[in-house]
Structure 1
Amino acid sequence: MEEVNDIEPASGGRRGCLIVIMGPSGAGKDSILSLARDRLEDCDDILFVRRSITRPLHEDSEDFEPLNDVEFDAGLKLGRFCFHWQANGLSYALPITMVDHLARGGVAVVNGSRAAYRHMHAVFAETRAVLVRVEPSVLKERLRCRGREDADEIEARIERSATYLDAIVPDAVIDNSGSLEEAAAHFVDYVMAERRARV
């Protein structure tokens, strides 16, 4: 269950573009982002946003800033975040530095949430939704191999993934049922197209 609350609107110019990559658990968003970040590391006008999340680090997750609840609340009071939301019992936030990057006309890429996306779209005028999809049979096998959920939980995830598009209308869809390299290449192409549109 995802819940968005206490949305903090960003201030300042919004000439840049915020690309929000989304998809069901097991779709491979983190892996695609990791490869894309490596390939675009020399592009100073493309920012891969490091989220703050109230959970500990673990090896197979994205690169994020782990915070406890007290630290997260302190960050809110100090104005460190430009946008925040809650999902699955955790708090997520985007850094205030992202606003300056967008104001300079840059492209920012963030691992997002379908529940938070419509609020992001309202706050950041130039926002794009990229959906990562996977064939149900492939997704089921990936979730099984990951070993985090039992069979019933996996089936529930598969059912939720089938309704993912009910919440958003994506600007682009990337199929990650096959080669990760190919999926990442398609995502890089999309990011570069948005970058060229800013020039």
Structure 2
Amino acid sequence: MADGLPGTGGTLVLVAGPSGAGKDSLIEAARRQLPADRFVFPQRVITRQDASGAEVSDYVTPEVFARLQDSDAFALHWQAHGNHYGILRSIEPELAQGRHVVVNVSRSVIDQARHQYSRLRVMLVTASRAVLRQRLAARGRELDADIDRRLERSLLEMPDAPDVVEIVNDGALQDAIDRFITELATLDALEDRHLAGS
């Protein structure tokens, strides 16, 4: 068992995958459709101000982020593309109360999270390289060179373990949304059966 929270309570759902795979779209659709008393979708703390509206997040300066990190305020944190990202420890009371916490994270923190939280699921959102390039170009946030770097990062080894579920978002967005929400709802149903049998 992991060294973090005990094996009771909610499940931490890590949504990971390359830039442009559509993680934010899936998370936002699930947030609108799944019951708020069972699923929690906390905002990330980020040192990047994003005017695109693609993700609702808490922007802080690098100095504030460093102070939060020094005070152990983050359950998980990482650096990518020149910015810092963090998930606050406020997720832990939610997990302890039996809610499932769904967060968008870097693949680089998955192993750390596995050691910290015993009830964990990874939703790996993927898409083909051609689709990723098209989406990254369409959002107009990066130069071509930046897009190339993000695509190279997308070729990093993908997590592969029994706790990983792959969601391929290459076609109609609604298809990926339906699969994503079905997986989360199934997770909740399994939890209900576990509680009923305990």
> What's the TM-score, normalizing by structure 2?
0.84
Gapped regions of structure 1 (runs ≥ 5): 1-8
For residues 45-103 of structure 1, give each alpha carbon's deviation from its aligned partner in whole angstroms, at most 9, with x where no partner exists: 21112111112132233111101122223334555433322223322221222101111
Aligned-residue offset at 1:192 = 1.0
Which segment drifts farther, 141-150 or 26-35?
Answer: 141-150
Match of 1:20 among 14, 19, 34: 14
- State the AA in 1 paired with 2:124: L
Matches within 5 A, 1:30-179: 30-40=24-34, 42-165=35-158, 168-169=159-160, 171-179=164-172
Which residue identity is paired with 1:87?
A
C-alpha change, 1:53 and 1:155, in structure 2 (3 Å) is: closer
Distance 1:55 1:11 in 2: 29
Match of 2:196 in 1: none
**Letter of the structure 1 residue corresponding to residue 16 of structure 2:** M
User: What SS does the aligned partner of 1:56 have?
Assistant: coil
Find the residue that maps to 1:25 and give its secondary structure. Answer: coil
Q: Which structure 2 residue ranges, 5 or more long, are not aligned?
A: 193-198
Paired residue secondary structure (1:172): strand
Equivalent position amino acid for 2:115 in 1: A
Give the stretch that moved more between structures: 177-186 or 77-86: 77-86
| AA matched with 2:29 | L
Per the alignment, in what secondary structure is the counterpart of residue 76 of structure 2?
strand
Matched, 1:192 2:185: yes
What's the RMSD between the two structures over aligned residues?
Answer: 2.2
Provide, for residues 116-142 of structure 1, a one-character-per-residue CA deviation record: whole Å limited to 9, x for no partner.
111111111111111111122222222
